[in-house]
Amino acid sequence: MSETIRHACGVFGIADHPEAANMTYLGLYALQHRGQESAGIVTTDGTMVYDHRGMGLVADVFSESILRNLIGPRAIGHVRYSTTGASDLRNVQPILCQYQRGWVAIAHNGNLINTDELRSDLESRGSIFNATTDSEILAHLLARSRKDDFLEALQDSLLKLNGAYSMIVMNSEYLVGLRDPLGIRPLCLGELNGTPIFCSESCALDIINARYIRTVNPGEMVIVDRKGNIHCHQFANRKRVAQCIFELIYFARPDSWIYGKEVHAIRKNIGRVLSREQRTNADVVIAIPDSSTCAALGFAEESGIPFDWGIIRNHYIGRTFIEPTQRIRDFGAKIKYNPVKAVLADKRVVVVDDSIVRGTTMRKIIKMIRRAGAREVHLRISAPVFRYPCYYGIDTPTRNELIGATHQVEEIRKQVRADTIHYISIPGLLEAVHGTDKEYCTACFNGKYPLRFPGGLPSDDNLRLWKETVQRNEDIPVELAVSEP
């Protein structure tokens, strides 16, 4: 993707291993692409609980000495990019809380949409929040549940949540992996020599030589007790499923399995369908690396147009400590990408990308390709037009910032200065992932949100104010989120 959409989070949990902290560290390292803001690990030996959390990348937060002090055979971990709650040490997960029944640790990927309602109710009954994330709400609900049994209290609390939540919950007795009734965000179940493991993507299993078993089903709790026994419980009935289709298009690593599907194969199939939808006369197919490469390969195979590496990505990008005093045109894009002139010169080029968000970076990239000598530039997008923001755990711009919401496709073509442009259709995308609109959430393309905010979806002004408010660590006014877009 040329324009970054920030991911939500990655979670990892292991039930019984002598090196649980090290295994969790490696699992989080494999999930680093899902969140680069902060990382945390909580472990337990069954009696005591140990934790360490910090801002930054996994390798920066943890050292060998820190991992040695995370004692016990059971652990959960989390990497975060904030979608609600400010970038602050208080909001780093896993959340660890002490309450009358002991302690509980929670690692959450997703976003609740009834946060305001629940938080206001809890605060009116005396709850004091330490963080500004929506994830802490579950801990307060657990503490206030009238159910004596922990698992019954957990189910009782979960049924009060509305939104996207793939979670790993741990206490002194249990390790539980669960997904919301719609299954919006992914969660995998694996095993290592008989030890159950939960993780956002199967690539976190590969790094420790664990085996992928299956996806945790929407509305399911997979429960591991202290003896290692596994029990699966459907805590919520599924009227439909709404798994985030953008995970398959962009977020997940191509070497992962999620939703029971191999991401690499799905993305190649998307490229094939994209090629069939609009035939193109061209000399070479290139990808905007790295997330578009699989789709570009599928496009090339289906069309018979050869694939080549027309753009090279700099993988070692951070903030540059200098900027040139004499302005270099398109400096930001050039830091990230550089064209291969031998591939592009005097060629009709098909450029495959997985989405266009604001359009500004794509315009710079096409200009770069033309300067490298390309005769024609045909833009092919392996996602439908991105028209609506996500409220379920992905940090996307407000609707008036999305070029697909404010411009027709032909206007977008003119804006980015491509010779032709084609987005895959929603039916084509569903065909490519072997699914239906009853299995996947496609709200960012068609506005058909499977879950609605209390009082209606927020307007652009309210959504902008909501994001600014949580970044300032302020309480979120309940009166926001009152009008349809």
Contact call for residues 302 and 326 (beta carbons, < 8 A): no
Q: How confident is the model at residue 7 (pLDDT cuts 50, 70, 90)?
A: low
Could you tell me if residue 459 is inside a domain?
A: no
CATH of the domain at 145: 3.60.20.10
| 59-68, 359-368, 380-389, 450-459: segment of lowest average pLDDT | 450-459
Rounded Cα distance between 33 and 57, Å, is 10
Q: Assess whether 32 and 172 both reside in one domain.
A: yes
Task: Give the total residue count for the chain.
Answer: 485
Here the tokens at position 152 are 């019954």
| pLDDT reading at 66 higher than 90 | yes
Q: What is the pLDDT of residue 328?
A: 57
Q: How confident is the model at residue 452 (pLDDT cuts 50, 70, 90)?
A: confident
Mean pLDDT, all residues of the chain: 87
* Cβ neighbours for 140, distance < 8 A, ≥ 6 positions apart: 122, 127, 129
**CA-wise closest residue to 112 among 35, 168, 167:** 167
Could you tell me if residue 54 is inside a domain?
A: yes
Could you tell me if residue 227 is inside a domain?
A: yes
Could you tell me if residue 344 is inside a domain?
A: yes
Active-site choice (9, 188, 390, 444): 9
Total domains in the fold of the chain:
2
Contact call for residues 415 and 384 (beta carbons, < 8 A): no
Q: Assess whether 114 and 200 both reside in one domain.
A: yes
Task: Using CB atoms within 10 Å of the CB of residue 420, give its burial: 0 to 12 exposed, 13 to 18 middle, 19+ buried.
Answer: middle
At what angle are helices 150-158 and 136-144 packed, to 10 degrees? Answer: 120
Q: Assess whether 273 and 373 both reside in one domain.
A: yes
Looking at the chain, the whole-number percentage of residues with pLDDT higher than 70 is 85
Q: Assess whether 205 and 278 both reside in one domain.
A: no
Residue 38, helix vs strand vs coil:
strand
Residue 24's Cα: distance from chain center in Å?
Answer: 19
Q: Assess whether 171 and 300 both reside in one domain.
A: no
Structural domain ending residue among the three candidates 419, 434, 449: 434
Q: Assess whether 149 and 108 both reside in one domain.
A: yes
Residue 215's Cα: distance from chain center in Å?
Answer: 16
Rounded Cα distance between 268 and 462, Å, is 38
| Averaged pLDDT for residues 28-40 | 95
Q: Determine phi and psi for 154, rounding to 5 degrees.
A: -65, -45
Q: Assess whether 206 and 284 both reside in one domain.
A: no
Q: Assess whether 81 and 212 both reside in one domain.
A: yes
Q: Give the range of the structural domain holding residue 18, as residue numbers without chain letter.
A: 9-239
Could you tell me if residue 187 is inside a domain?
A: yes
Rounded Cα distance between 382 and 270, Å, is 6
Could you tell me if residue 481 is inside a domain?
A: no
The three-point CA angle 170-173-176 to 5° equals 40
Q: Assess whether 220 and 278 both reside in one domain.
A: no
Q: Assess whether 105 and 163 both reside in one domain.
A: yes
Q: Can 203 be counted among the known catalytic residues?
A: no
Top pLDDT among 335 and 355 is at 355
Residue 433, helix vs strand vs coil:
coil
Q: Assess whether 72 and 163 both reside in one domain.
A: yes
Strands (E), 6-73: 9-14, 38-44, 49-55
- The segment with the largest mean pLDDT, out of 78-82, 424-428, 462-466, is 424-428
Give the largest Cα separation in the chain, rounded: 73
| pLDDT reading at 183 higher than 90 | yes
CATH of the domain at 376: 3.40.50.2020
Rounded Cα distance between 340 and 334, Å, is 13
Q: What is the pLDDT of residue 223?
A: 98
Could you tell me if residue 252 is inside a domain?
A: no
Q: What is the pLDDT of residue 336?
A: 82
| pLDDT reading at 472 higher than 60 | no
Could you tell me if residue 283 is inside a domain?
A: yes
Here the tokens at position 288 are 């905007």
Q: Assess whether 32 and 127 both reside in one domain.
A: yes
